[in-house]
Amino acid sequence: MNKASNNLRQRRNCTLTTDNNYKGKLINTSKEKNQSCIKEILTPINAHIEDMRKKHSQVCVVRFDLRTPNGAEKLNNKQVGRIFENMRRALERKEYAGGHNPDPRFIGVQENQGNGTHYHCVAMVNGNAIQNPYTIFNAAEKYLANTLGISQEEAKGLVDYCDRHGQNGTIIKRGSSEEQEKVNQAMYQLSYPAKERGKEDIPKGQHLWVGTRVPKEKE
């Protein structure tokens, strides 16, 4: 265990894992490279995936990053939470074919690296309502721009679509022959924000993640 890992565990009471699966789903870790994920971040991501799969026959899963311009004040959990809430309201105001509720869910995790502070973000929506990830990206750009007091055009370069390794966005279809493959693909991608690296400097009193509360199981 490296010094940073030990420090993170001591300060945040985090549980780290290098296993390559979590709750039966593939995650982005490596024992050989000592690349860990934080279980306290994996847990809400996994819970939302399972809840969305129960409620919707199709689920669209997307990842994106939020950044600020060079020299600007860094984002904080309160601001990102407000961005998510505005995105939720905007997406729910729209009308969709079949009258489907998009049921948007968001999770954001702060990371501090050499290129500055940014947020890795997860979005899940009812795939019967939304399947185009750019619907989510456009909403993120709009409300990041509002938060920073800049134009939406200026915000375009500050929302990373996370598509360097191919098209972003996974559709999980209940009952399809590819369902488990797509679940693994989605969880692997969404586990990236849970990686330990870059979390060492998160202030002790700050929550590890911000976003949609995990729905409680009904009695």
Give the chain's domain count.
1
Q: What is the pLDDT of residues 151-185, one digit of tens each?
A: 999 888 899 999 887 778 999 999 999 999 999 99
Q: What is the pLDDT of residues 38-97, one digit of tens each?
A: 999 999 999 999 999 999 999 999 999 999 988 788 899 999 999 999 999 999 999 898
185 belongs to a structural domain: yes
216 belongs to a structural domain: no
Percent of the chain beyond pLDDT 70?
A: 91
217 belongs to a structural domain: no
pTM of the model: 0.90
187 belongs to a structural domain: yes
42 belongs to a structural domain: yes
Torsion, Cα 129 133 135 138, to 10 degrees, reads 160
Q: What is the total residue count of the chain?
A: 219
Residue 16 dihedral angles phi and psi, to the nearest 5°: -100, 150
The DSSP line for 92-135 is HHS--GGG-----EEEEEEEEETTEEEEEEEEEEETTT---HHH
pLDDT at 219 over 60: no
pLDDT at 7 over 80: no
The DSSP line for 1-45 is --HHHHHHHHHH---EE--SEETTEE-S-BTTTTB-EEHHHHHHH
* Distance of alpha carbon 5 from alpha carbon 197, whole angstroms: 8
pLDDT at 126 over 60: yes
- Domain of residue 121: give its range: 3-211
219 belongs to a structural domain: no
